[in-house]
Structure formats: structure tokens, C-alpha cells
A and B are shown apart, each in its own frame.
Chain A
Amino acid sequence: MRGSSLTLAVACWMTFLAEFTSPVAAQETSNAVFSARIAPFLNAHCLDCHTGDDAEGQTDLQSLTPDFTTDARARRWIDVLQNLQFDQMPPPESDQPDAKDRAEVTGWILNELNKTGRYEGYRKKLLAPEYGNWVSHEKLFSGDIKTPPFSPARIWRYSPAIFTYRGLGNAKSPFTFMTSERGIRDYASISVADQSTVQMMLIAADSFLADRQRRGEFDRYAAPELELSDQQLKDILQREFFRVIGRNLSEAEIAKYLAFCKQNISTGGNLEGIKTTIKAMFLSTESMFRMELGRGPVDQHGRRQLSSDEIAYSLAYALTDHPPERNHLIRDAWKSDKLKNKQDVEALVQQIMDQQLTTGRWEHRDLPRVMRFFEEYFGFHRAGNVFKDNDRRRREKINQWNTNMLVHDAKMLIEHVLRQDQDVIAELLTTNQYFIAHPGNNQYAKEYYDEQVAKMTAPGYVEEKVQQRREQLQKEVKDWQLKKDEAERRLESYRKTEQLRVERYKTAIAAGMNPHPSYPFAPKSRGIGDLLYIEPYNLPSSGSADEQKWDWPLEQPLAMPKNQRAGLLTHPAWLAAHSLNEDNDPIRRGIWVYERLLAGVLGDVPPDVDAAVPSDPHQTLRQRMQNLRDQRCWKCHRKINPLGETFEIFDDWGRYRNRIYFDQDGKVYHRRDGDFERRLEANELTTRPVDASGMISGSGDPNVDGPVQDAVEMMHRLGHSQRARQSFIRHLFRYLMGRNEMLSDSQTLIAAEQAYLANGGSFKALVVSLLSSDSFLYRR
């Protein structure tokens, strides 16, 4: 049984990766096929460079034998497989093998992996998000594949975010992601609940119950002599089950839990018996896993549709972190039996998108998973994860390194683009319309601004505030909490600060500027105190009591210089998130563009890669990275570096720059403080223009491929490209389906792209199309 399903899996795999595989190969022995077909291929295309002790990349292929019996030997063949599958080898300047021959070799390797039981491990590896692009992009969008789409029937362990809203207070989530932090996290087939998960859930349940016991919630059951009737117990069970799982128990389930509860009561008394029963709810299958088994009707292709209940849960968890009861639109459709088919789902998702796409409190949107997609796709939310040294910050004149604010600004940009819902993908990748220190909502921004300006400029404002403070301090003095002279000192200091704040408002208004009104944390806005953090935008910063230096626009978005900023990838939040502790990170940036906009494939990183870029204070980062043009490295880095190096027009704080400074010893000069100004004036620094030139290749469009001057030009070229659009759609598919695409999802992806285009580049249309697709609704 297992063998046959494996054979089938290999057959499918080989069909879509190596469709020209010869059927003869399967009939011949491994050795014979190796001698007759594989060895000649290697000889013709590989051995010239990869032979003997001085083989290129220390990869000697002459010593390869058709032996897959150990992991180490099989790994060498997997390396060959990857290089051939993704056209990494032979190098582009060499003669390329015929596609049929190439496919025959890859097919043979897969077959051999299967024969030695190593295929399953390889298959499992490909389930991870980082291998999503391994399915041929060209085939997915070719239109040649007519297979009716479906997702595998599956269990899906709950995400940490869903756990957070279970009402267990601050309990740490027992659910953790096994996926990489740099990408889409919640994948069904990679989610695991194991012993540590169960143990942690047990701990969470224990402390939850202990807290409730402390609060007296179980007091009425605590008396040992109290006999609880069946009806009383049933009521308790219904209430607790709803609290833990989020739905009511069926009659059969009530009977099961009742018997269990009675058994526990007879073992440990009322209190412990009931607590143990509640614990079982926490540890039950339904508390751990979402289930998408396809309990609806079966169609002519043998696919099972999700039942109405399953659709309600799947939609709720695709867009929110709550069960369906918590979203009134989903709940209403579900309860009124309008979740039965594709049309029902289309109508509901359209309604949700129209009414809730960017609504809700600032800290918890109605559809939290929408913004989470953009976070996981772009990765800008990780800006704060890259440590930047405070000394550097001071020397390089970043007055405040507030990555939270940069991330907030990026989110406002995204929400603005979503609200426009026109050419969303291109806009996100190319817009110079940014939000800076703004709550995102112009109406609210103006209301609060007007209120603050009126208050701050009213005569007697300072004295009124001082009086309020005086009364507060007098109370503290009276209560012996404060000495009188200390109270006076504090009051004076307070007065000065308020005077400075008023002064800032007045000076800004006199200079024709909008004083920044320090937005509070409120349901409509995330607190934004001042303009101290805005240096990464090449804007002059100021604190709340300092003279304001930048005319902060009350109505936003504002236009950033077009030659400096183009979309999210030139936003300081993204640049910081893709930087190193002390420098830019062209490699990670290049990988991002290559994988997420060009749908490119990079093989696994060789284990002996030494990622260190040599340090030489006399050279720019780009110069120091020249060693990656060594042939062994360049095999992969040729795909990455020409994309990532275009971002050298920014420093690692995200500031635009067009030149690099050197001191009198020829060392790169990073300081931007007073010393920099002094040396610049004294002509002690020399400069060189930044070289941020690069190259796009592999977009599939000759109008997009080619050299670029810098990241801004690259983003304008890529941002409007078909490849970037399709790549974005593939990632959104993965996020919503919780899995990598299969070739059989081709129709879903093509329909999604068409819906997007037919609606003027609408994100809403894209989500509606994907969530009502067969890939989402059918299981097999």
C-alpha cells in the first residue's frame, strides 16, 4: 500500500518536473541506465569542469556512482538534481543540454531516490514554504493544465495567533511555527502538535483553571457533599466547551463528556472532576487541529467539497484569528445556510472585502490576516529584529531608531493602497506616496490636529496646565509623598516644557508649517509622539519640545522624491528589515527580489558556504563583495547580487544616498555628525558616486530584463511586470491555502490573475477569486 502510493507520488512528481522521462528507464536496472544514459550526459556536460581534486566548486562528479544507499551519497545526487532542475548548471555561457536529456537525468535521480526510500524525505522537504517556487512558473500560468484543482484533505494545527485569542490570558502559545521566520508561516502540512505541544497546553490549561479557582468561579462545586444533577453537569459542560472550543456540543458529545465527567467526580470529587473534564477539552483533537476533510458533496472528479461548517471555519481562519461566530458576516451567512457552494462563498467574501478590508481598531483590524500577509510577504515588520548599535546611531546622526514607527508608516502605505484598490501590486512596488508620522486616516488626523492647535495656541494654556499640575503636586505634598521644594522644582520644569511645546506650535505656524500634534494611542490611531525618528526618510528630525524643522503634511500620503523612493522595497522599514547589524544586506535583498518578484528558484545553500564578506575599511560593500564573483559562488550569486546591489543607493538605516565619503586615509567615512560637517567643510573628505547598477534577468519579458541604474529604476520596471504580479499571486495563494501550489492549482492561479486584471488590479477581486476557488473549496 505504502509502496504503491509512493510510486504514484514519484510518478506524479516526475510528470511535472520531468515530463519527458523515458519509460524505458524504469525497466532497466540502475547500473545499466546509469552507464547507458546518465554517465554519457555527465561526461558531455559536467565532467570538463567537475573532475578530480581540482574540480570546480570542489564538486567531483567523475566519482559519482549509481549508489543511493547512504544519505551522503544520495545527497550528492540531490545536488545534481537541483542544479539541473533549475538550470543552475551547466553555467549559462556553456552549451546547454537538450531539455529532454536533462529531464531524463532528473527523472532517473528521482526514481533512484524512491527505490532507496529517500523520496519521501525529499517530498516532505518540498512542502516547506521556501520550496514553493520549485513548481514551474511557466507551466502554472501556461493554461495547458486542465486538472481540476483541490487541496489535500488535511488537519491543520492552530496558529499561535489563533491561540492568543482563546481567552487564556497571557498563556504562552503551545503552538509554534516550524517554518522559516522569513516568509509565510502557517502551513498545514508543516504544523505539528507533539508531546511538547500537549505538555504546554496542559500547563496553559492548569494555570487557566487555577486562576479561575482563585477567583472563586468553582466555589459552588467545591463542597464535597454536593451532588450535581445530570442537567447541572450538562449545563456546565456546554458552557465550558463553548468557552474552550467555540461551539456547542452535540447530543452524542454531551453524553460522552457527561460520562467522563461523572467518572472524574467519583475519582477526585466535584471540583477536581470538573477541572479534569475541562482539561480534556483543552487537550482534545478539536482544540489542537482545524479539520478540512471535505465533508460536503462529492463531484464527478472524485473531489469532496467542504461542508458549510468547514467552509465557515476555513474562511474565518483565512481572514481572521477567530472562529466564524466572531465575524458577523461569516456567522450570518453560515447560520442562514448561505455557505453551500462557490457562488455563496464568492458573494460572502466580496461582502467581507467591501466592508472590512481595512476596518477595525488600529491594534486589531477586523481582518488581521490581511495585513499579516503583507508582513510575511514583504518582511518589513522584522525591521526591529536587526540590531543596530547605539554608538553607530549617534555617530551617523539617526536621532531616534524607532523601527516600530517605520513599520507603522509602511502599514499605512499598504492600507492606503488597499483602500484605493487599483493596480495594487504595481502601486505597492512603485509608489512614492508615503505616510510619515500620520495616523493614516485624514479625517481623524485633521480633527485631532485642529483640536490640538486650538488648545495649544489658546491664551492661558500654559498657566491652565500648570495649575492642573500644581493641584496634583499639592495633593502629593499633603499626603507626605513629596517635599515642598521638590514639588516646586518639578512644577517649574513642567512649566518650561509646556512653554517649549507651545513655542514649537507657534514657531511652526509662523513659519507656515503644520505643527505635528503628537497623536495618542486610541482606537483610531497608533500613538505617534513626535518627528524624532524620521531621519531614515532623509528628513530633518525634531522632538516634541524642539523646533520643528520639517513641514509635516497634515493630509497624507505625501510625495517622496520620485528618484529616491519607489514602493515598499525602498521604504526604510523594508530596507532595515533586510539589512545587517552594521551594513546593507545586498544578498538577502537580492534573494527577496529573485524569489518573490521573479518567482526564481535557488538551490539549497551548500553546507560549506562561508558567508563572510571580507572587511576592508578602504572598500565599499559592493567592492568587498567582488569575491562572490568567484565561479563557484557566482553560480547562485549571479541571480542575486545584480538585484540586491541596486539598493546601495540607501544606507542600512534606509537613507537615500548618491555618494560615499572617504577620509584622508582612503577609508569609507560613515559619520554624519558634527565631525562630518567639519571635515566636509575643511575638504578633508573625498567622495565617489554610489554604484548601484544592476541587472534584471529571468523575468520572462525582454522589456523588463536588462541593466538598471538603481533600485528605483528596477522597481518601476519590475513593479509593472507580469512576472512580479504572478509571483505576488502565488504567494497570496500559499498564504490563504496554507500550502505550496501544485501544478493542479494552475486553473485557480490563472483565474485569480484574470479577476485581478479584469477589476483594474483589485486586491479584493484577487482574494474573492482565491477563496472561492476549487483549490480552497475542494479536498481529495
Chain B
Amino acid sequence: MLNSRIPTGPIEQKWEKHKGEIKLVNPANKRLIDIIIVGSGLAGSSAAASLAEMGYNVKVFCFQDSPRRAHSIAAQGGINAAKNYQNDGDSIYRLFYDTVKGGDYRSREANVYRLAEVSGSIIDQCVAQGVPFAREYGGLLDNRSFGGVQVSRTFYAKGQTGQQLLLGAYSALSRQISKGKIELLNRHEMMDVVVIDGKARGIIARNLVTGEIQRHGAHAVVLCTGGYGNVFYLSTNAMGSNSSAAWKAHKRGAYFGNPNFVQIHPTCIPVSGHYQSKLTLMSESLRNDGRIWVPKNLDDAQAIRNGELGPNDLEENQRDYYLERRYPAFGNLVPRDVASRAAKERCDEGYGVNKTGQAVFLDFASAIERYGKTEASTRNLKSPTKSQIIELGKAVVKSKYGNLFDMYQQITADNPYETPMKIYPAIHYSMGGIWVDYNLMTTIPGLYAAGEANFSDHGANRLGASALMQGLADGYFVLPYTIGDYLADEIRTGQISTDTIEFEQAENQVKATLDKLINTNGDIPVDDFHRRLGLIMWEYCGMSRNEKGLKKAIILIKKLRDEFYSNLYVPGDVNDFNPELEKAYRVADFLELGELMCIDALNRKESCGGHFREESQTDEGEALRDDDNYTYVSAWEYRGDPSDPKLHKELLKYDNIEVKQRSYK
């Protein structure tokens, strides 16, 4: 039976009480304990810095050339915290409520409450580290609002919040490296977890420059390895983002939680051609000021697709601001899953506005005019002309979103100050991940998962600006406490020897897998398989899913997997710098994870959050949950065959929030 180890007592006292009861490791004993952290993003860097400060010996692994490159760096819009600086009625409870509701009542209450509780400390911590958040003229911190909420609680640094927060965590990490408390292994990839007597005791790593396979022992291993959106090939994730660490842990006994819950972000730059290697996000913060629309008439949509009409040729009454029409209460700021489905619905009906028919407009004209008028008024301009207003308005929009507008123009060659952006949903984030208990420990004792790599806080849909919050909460404020509960019993263990049969077996297995990949000697490059897997996943396990499609996808993935192992071609050597081999190792795992995602989506016959089962919708086409049968976390156990996992259920209980059908109307 899955035990999530949620402390007893009222929700607002659980975390304080738990912290008080957690076993401690005394400073002298901490020096005898080794911890491995895999990944150097927000969760990894913050956890590593914190654990090293506490006195543990830490090793950090990252596959990039520097820990500062982890993909947290690309997060744009902001980070939530229940500070209530804006005096708009925000509170810990409200942040908790919004997050549970936003997640469509499929997240664990106690974890989410803790997240909201520590959110304020994150901002304090980051400011103390020199993170340059946006400020108002009075010198105090500025906020903006994000989708799915009705308060302004998002702290930001232009469109580069992730960068600034990661560089803050990286600086804390660097400080501990300089003190000799952290050993950094960059350009190293974790290949497997080593489990001895049921406990995680280390990892097998590969030096990506020399190809050397290494054994590293530790008393605990923490996976901060991010999400698995790249199973879809095209996503907003970095090219190197992968699921291999999580998947290898899964195969060693860590249950995988809600694998089908992935977030499709509504505002990304649409696909431009078959050579496309990744998709670029346009921050959700743009929905504060941008209005989303498609033409009202099919003929106009056709004319725009053919290039006979431009968006600015259509009058207001010829446009369909479909989010404002369908969801008057939240308008353009509905949560991501809702906004994405609405865009797909319009495009499926033939209203798409680019060559492929898969794009909608995100229009800043009215924001530019509105800001221009305010600015003219503050500058005391008497009866300003229209062009003066537009100029002033553009300057305001530039100061808020300048870097995003530049990026858009660079990629598409369109100027978004003059013509609306074209956007379309794309895979962005994994709510699912390795199952963890309240202490962030997986089902393998001594193995932890933090940040996007775990499943716990976002349910079936994550709200904007909550990923950064969770990564840093886990790393700075949760794991450093909870890991002590396990490590307190490890103080007499002594150094973990890597000279054991388990390490040897794991090492041999890794070597055999690499040899198999490089010796397949077929004809097809690994990207080709990855792209095809992505198409299957997007078609059948993307924004809209049904039983028939999912069953078909499972067959197609198995076929593709067989072909992969018979016709893959990986150039170069095993014992060398070989990026193609790295990719092959990762895609081999995606080919198994993809199947589990489909199995999970097939099992969950309800719609919830980002998981939309066509069989389960309201008359108005909204997602329809089935609380009687599916108020649980699916935690899948690997049993030796990727097609035959065993389902365990963690039943979810909501004692502090009324469960109801989500409505943003």
C-alpha cells in the first residue's frame, strides 16, 4: 500500500509540526554523509547549496557544460508567492486554493499547502541573494497577474525570471563549490541508480567528454532532472532535457505518478516546417495584455491563410475573441489547459490563421492604446494625437515585454508591435513525474525527487509561475529538512563502497546498453525515431485523447521501438565525446515512457486538467471529471516489461477545500 506519510493535524499546522518532529543529524555526523544531486536547475542547485551549507558532502551532476545552463533558465514569466504586497486579498490559503483548483483537484492537498506556506520565504531568500526582481518607482517589488487567479502575486524580472532565479541558485551553489563542500561534475550524465538491499546507494554516470563509465556511491540520491516533455520531440524544453534518470529510477523500483499529465502551453510560436527542432514559448504574462482572437467568418480565415487579408484589415465586429466570449469572468487569463483546448477547437473548425491552419492571433493593439492613453495623461498631454498615443503605448509594452517581442520577431520576421503575434499550443511541462511521499522520497528508500521531476504539487494542470516556486521550495526549504528523517539512521553506515556486486551489475548493464545502441548498425539516425515518436504522442496522447487513439498509439510505439533496435544508426565510438550516442540513450527511454503515458491516459477515463478524454466532456465541451472513480494518483510500478506496469492508487482526500466542477466562466 502506498504511504504518502502526510502528517496528522490541521493543514496549517502540518508542516511546522512535521519539521519539529523530523529526526536531525548532528553537524559532526553530517560530515560523514554523502549526497548525490542529479541536475542543476532550480531544484538541484538550491538543494545542493542548502545541503552543503548544512554540512553534508554533496556531488552535483549536470549534462551541460555548466550548471547555469539547466532549463530552468528559460522560464520567462515569473514566480508566485503569497506575499499580499498588493493588498488585493491574497493569502497562503488563497494560493493553496488556486493551485488545487487550477490542478483540477488531482494534487495532494498537504503538499500544496506547504508550497504556499513557504512561498514567501523564497522571495525573501532570492532578494537577499541579489536577484534583481522588477521594482516600482517607490523601490518596492512589483507584481503582475497570471492565468487562473484573480490576484497579482507574481514576482518577475522582465521575461527572464527563470534566468535570474537560476543564477541566484547557481551563485549559492558556486559559493559551496568554492568552500569545497560540493564537487561539481559537469558534462556528466546519470546512467542508472544503484540499489543495494532496497536502498539507493549511488549512481552510474558517464563522463560525456571521455565516455568513461563511473561509479559514485552515496547515502542518498536526489533526482532534480526536470520534466519529460521531449517525449513529444517538439516541446518548449531544451534539446537535452530528457527522462532517462527518472526512467532508470522507475525501472529500479520508483513508481511513476500520473505520467499522462503533461501541460500544453497555449502561447507558443507555431511550427514553421518539418525541420523544426523545438518550439519557443511566448510567456503567459503576455495574456495580461494580449487579446486572443480568430476571424469570425470562415472566408476571412481562409483569406488570411492565403495571404489575401491581413489581421489589421478585419474590423472589431469581424473578430471572435473566443476566450472573452466563452469565459467572461477570466477572459484571456483562463488557465493553460482551458486556453489551449479553446485554440485547438477554433483551429479544428477551420479558423486557424497561418499556412498550416494551426495558429491564432495574440493581439496587443488595444493594450498599446490603453497604455498610451494613461501615459499621455500622466505626462499631461492635452488632446494627444492617435499616433502619439500609439508611440507612448508601444514604449510601455516594450518596457514590459521587450525581450519577448524581440525574440518573436527574430524567429518569425514579423513585428508584433505592428501586427498581432501568431501562436499555438505546445508541450511545455510535466505535472506527472516520479511518485514521492510528503518527504519527497520515492518508493526506493534513499532516493528523492524534487522540482518538475516529481509529481506532487500541480495535479492535472499547473498554474503559471508555479514551477519556479515549486523548484525552489523543494530545494531550499523542503528537502533540506525532510532528508534528515532518512539520513539520521545512516550515520553509522560508513562510506558507501562502490566495489560491490550491485555496482558492478549496474555498470555492466549500462555498458551493454551503450554497446547495443552503437552496434545496431542500421541506417536511420536517432532524431528520425524521436521525431516519429513525437508525432504519435502528439496525435494520440496530446491535447485530446480517446480510447481508440490511445490503443493505436500503444501499438505504433511498440512497432517503432522494435524498428529502433533493429535499424538505428549511431556513429562514432562509445569511449568518446559522442552526442548522437547520448541522444540514442535518451530516446530509448522515451520510447518506453511514451507507452506508459498512453497506458495511463487509457486507464483514466475521465477528463481532468490537461488530460482531456473525448468520452468525458460537458455539453459545452468542457473537461468533465469523474470524482467517484478517479480521485487518485496513478502510481505505476515497473515489472520488467514496459507494456505491463502495475497500477497503484494513492487516494486523494480534500478536507480543506470544496471539490467542485472547475469553472472560469
A binds B: no
Q: Tell me the B residues contacting A by CB distance below 8 Å.
A: none
